[in-house]
Structure 1
Amino acid sequence: MAPTVNPASSRLFEPIQVGRMKLSHRIVFPPLTRNRNDDDHTPLPFMARYYADRASTPGTLVISEATAVSHLEEGQDNTPGFVSDRQIVAWKTIIDAVHEKGSYYFQQVWGMGRASYPELMRRKGLKYRSSSAVPMEGVDAVPEEMTEEDIVETIQSFADTAKRVIAAGGDGVEVHCAHGYLLDQFLSDAVNKRTDKWGGSTENRARLVLEVIKAVVDAVGADRVALRLSPYAAFQQAEKGDIHGQYLYLIAQLKTTVPPLAYLSLVEATGDPGALIFGGKAVNQGKTLDFILEAWDNRSPVIVAGGYHPETAAWAVEKRYNKWNTLVAFGRHFLANPDLVFRIRHKIELNKYNRPTFYLAKNEIGYNDYPFSKEYLAAQQRQFPSSLSCFPEGGG
């Protein structure tokens, strides 16, 4: 691939309708787990600034970090939930801060399943569970196979959480079925060894995510619901033996059982966090998302993610995926550049991200200390003479 498209004049800056949202461009801030919540899984006050800063160009889609749909799924330290009154109040502050910038907000929601920390679950007196009693590599504990009651409660938890998000002012929810977390543990034949209606076949392995999507759509409306998938990821050993068959069945069912979703979010083979972030094996490299995009057939827009930078993102929307209504998510670069959209539009050099600070729990270092560009600050000063006080000297 030899990108030759100028990002500033590309379709990245073509407006697009996504669900109920009229986005002014196609640069998306995606879900990024960063462990800045407190020990009760509630967002800390400084998180509102982080999200608002990345919403600083009006018309941006901001998607939250993955958020537990029940206290049972708050399975790792300092990850958030959207369950308790205290959590809801904290998230409402964040949602309002994004909206005050003229941007839009989706909450990514998940269950963690066997990706939870067994010791943390033991300390809380909660069940460590998954689709089947199949342990993860490097983890001594074996999860319990979820019962029918567990599964029904999980479906309801997704629907109830979606209602809480909308009641708090969110524009929608993105259901996380990727990267080896709970719903993906059911989708994966490497993890799901069940022989009941929730496993044992392509159709049965897809049942839980389909039931979750139906329940969430019934709760808040299809145009407020999105789904994230990572067909090629090997992270947390949630691989699929028949990738095309599994995902084509899922897409076909989505098209026939629910109205058009707000969007699909798809992770490229290059976006497997096991390889991209944690130095694990890279699998399925060179494979493309074309088969899903062809099957989805522009039913609603698709966000693609996977190590993009401005030039490759422009190439993707102009050339690679020009047949489809696509947007591009930037993770690490959006973390390091709160004014990323402005920088790309004006060809301003990007800040470099600092990987060792990605997961500093409860800490603003590597989170709220990346600077806005001088050009952005000057533009703000010209447009809003009193606004510069909102940005501490040297950064946002």
Structure 2
Amino acid sequence: MTNTQQVPAVSRLFETARLGNLELSSRLVMAPLTRNRAGADGVPGELMATHYAQRASAGLIIAEATTPNAVGRTYPHTPGIHESTQISGWRRVTDAVRAASGSRMFLQLQHGGRVGHPDTSGHIQLAPSVVRFPEALHTPSGLQSAVAPREMTVRDIRSTIADFATAARNAVEAGFDGVEVHSANGHLLHQFLAKNTNRRTDGWGGPVEGRIRFTTEVVQAVAEAIGPDRVGVRISPGLGVNSIEEGDTEDIYRALLPALARIGPACLHLIHADPDSAPFAEIRKAWPGTLMANPVLSREEVAADGGKRKGERLLAEGADLIALGRGFLANPDLVERLRTGAPLNDIRPEFLMHVHGAEGYNDYPSLDRP
């Protein structure tokens, strides 16, 4: 008798993949997630080393938003990569991850721009223009209204670009395989792109060609510092996070993507990717290299499968890697749970941000650790 039972196809999420010169164990990426567990001085400690080591089965981990200089700090207890103690702290994290499984790690470099407060950073915030952030901000003394930022001079722009390049070199010294430049979610680079936060009339403002200049110059400097194959870039077209209003989204990214492609970074990371949307198809068509897609997910989709089904659809539509955030929050072994169909842990939202202990951070159970 012939056995006609078909073996289910293995999901493409679990295929090996390449990113620049790196081989990844799967196409599943742990997205960068701000958790406010660094020290008050921005130094990563044992809590963070444990947290990332628990999640080391991801094909790639992109460690949380980390500032390249002091003035760019957004919230209390977010990490930096501009002091020797911070470099040493991150080295403990990357060592712990490699000891756990050898997973690859990138570090996200983020400057908050107007999203920050002097009580947190010790400085008046820098931004493309004097446009106050309209929302309340977490500070060491509680929620406060933002203060008006100082418009960046040409000297500020040049020194900030240099700080990004130095931070990239520091990240490699700390054991990271590369970095992701954060040009999304309403932070400094995105503020240069958007009309409502960039009112400059010099070469870094005005028409689209001026507004994309800061992002491209940062990415160019980082690529020259550590090599383009070690660099990713994160974008969020049309996403109004942190009160950003791009104004001419299609024009921005029609100009930005070819400019970035000429630099040749290893990856473009697209937030809120939707396999049914025209923007995703357009970006896939326009981007010649590796495309990492972070799917837009409802709460129900996260609870049901952590984003597995949406990730598989994005791969079918041309994405190369899938970045998941909330699924990794509550499931240290998310890759194995998705592979086997095991149930997922519920997220405890009260412990996501602006708290500082192991609870809701390192104490989520894994399949072999109740």
Length-normalised TM-score, structure 2:
0.89
Aligned to 1:341: 335
- Counterpart mapping for 1:290-309 below 5 A: 290-297=281-288, 299-307=289-297, 309=302
Q: Deviations over 1:205-238 (max 9, x none)?
A: 0000100000000000011000000112101121
**Alignment of 1:369 onto 2:363:** yes
Q: Deviations over 1:9-59 (max 9, x none)?
A: 32111111111221121111110000001111111222101001100x2x6
**Alignment of 1:268 onto 2:272:** yes
Paired residue secondary structure (1:64) = strand
Stretch of structure 1 that moved more, 318-327 or 176-185: 318-327
Letter in 1 for 2:125: Y
Distance verdict in 2 for CA 1:173–1:91, change over 3 Å: same
Question: Per-residue deviation at 1:326?
Answer: 2.2
Is the 2:229–2:266 Cα contact (8 Å) retained in structure 1?
Answer: yes
Q: Give 4+ residue runs of structure 1 displaced > 6 Å after superposition.
A: none
Superposition RMSD on alpha carbons, in Å? 2.2
Aligned to 1:328: 322
Letter in 2 for 1:129: L
Q: Deviations over 1:135-188 (max 9, x none)?
A: 121345211111111100000000001011112221000000110011111011
Paired residue secondary structure (1:115) = coil
Distance verdict in 2 for CA 1:248–1:311, change over 3 Å: farther
Distance verdict in 2 for CA 1:317–1:335, change over 3 Å: closer
- Tell me, in whole angstroms, the C-alpha distance in 2 between the residues paired with 1:8 and 1:237: 43
Distance verdict in 2 for CA 1:319–1:370, change over 3 Å: closer
Distance verdict in 2 for CA 1:326–1:98, change over 3 Å: same
Question: Per-residue deviation at 1:269?
Answer: 6.4
Q: Deviations over 1:325-357 (max 9, x none)?
A: 422222111010000000011110000101111
- Tell me, in whole angstroms, the C-alpha distance in 1 between the residues paired with 2:280 and 2:311: 13
Aligned to 2:81: 82
Question: Per-residue deviation at 1:289?
Answer: 1.9
The sequence identity of aligned pairs, in percent, is 38
Stretch of structure 1 that moved more, 361-370 or 308-317: 308-317
Unmatched segments (≥5 aa) in structure 1:
1-5, 271-284, 378-390
- Counterpart mapping for 1:25-44 below 5 A: 25-44=26-45
Question: Per-residue deviation at 1:117?
Answer: 1.9
Is the 2:295–2:310 Cα contact (8 Å) retained in structure 1?
Answer: no
Q: Deviations over 1:248-297 (max 9, x none)?
A: 110011122x13x2211111168xxxxxxxxxxxxxx9664222111003
Question: Per-residue deviation at 1:311?
Answer: 5.2
Aligned to 1:222: 228
- Tell me, in whole angstroms, the C-alpha distance in 2 between the residues paired with 1:238 and 1:116: 15
Paired residue secondary structure (2:345) = coil
May I ask how many residue pairs the two structures share in their alignment? 349
Letter in 1 for 2:36: N
Paired residue secondary structure (2:77) = coil
Distance verdict in 2 for CA 1:356–1:311, change over 3 Å: closer
**Alignment of 1:128 onto 2:129:** no
Aligned to 1:53: 54
**Alignment of 1:351 onto 2:345:** yes
2:243 equivalent among 228, 237, 242: 237
- Tell me, in whole angstroms, the C-alpha distance in 1 between the residues paired with 2:351 and 2:103: 27
Question: Per-residue deviation at 1:245?
Answer: 1.0
Paired residue secondary structure (2:46) = coil
- Tell me, in whole angstroms, the C-alpha distance in 2 between the residues paired with 1:294 and 1:41: 39
- Counterpart mapping for 1:138-153 below 5 A: 138=135, 139-153=145-159
Distance verdict in 2 for CA 1:7–1:356, change over 3 Å: farther
Aligned to 1:19: 20
Question: Per-residue deviation at 1:324?
Answer: 2.1
- Tell me, in whole angstroms, the C-alpha distance in 2 between the residues paired with 1:230 and 1:84: 29
- Tell me, in whole angstroms, the C-alpha distance in 2 between the residues paired with 1:163 and 1:72: 19
2:183 equivalent among 160, 171, 177: 177
Is the 2:306–2:326 Cα contact (8 Å) retained in structure 1?
Answer: no
Stretch of structure 1 that moved more, 311-320 or 139-148: 311-320
Question: Per-residue deviation at 1:76?
Answer: 1.8
Paired residue secondary structure (1:341) = helix
- Tell me, in whole angstroms, the C-alpha distance in 1 between the residues paired with 2:11 and 2:305: 10
Distance verdict in 2 for CA 1:7–1:263, change over 3 Å: farther
Distance verdict in 2 for CA 1:120–1:220, change over 3 Å: same
Letter in 1 for 2:210: N
- Tell me, in whole angstroms, the C-alpha distance in 1 between the residues paired with 2:279 and 2:65: 25
- Tell me, in whole angstroms, the C-alpha distance in 1 between the residues paired with 2:291 and 2:277: 23
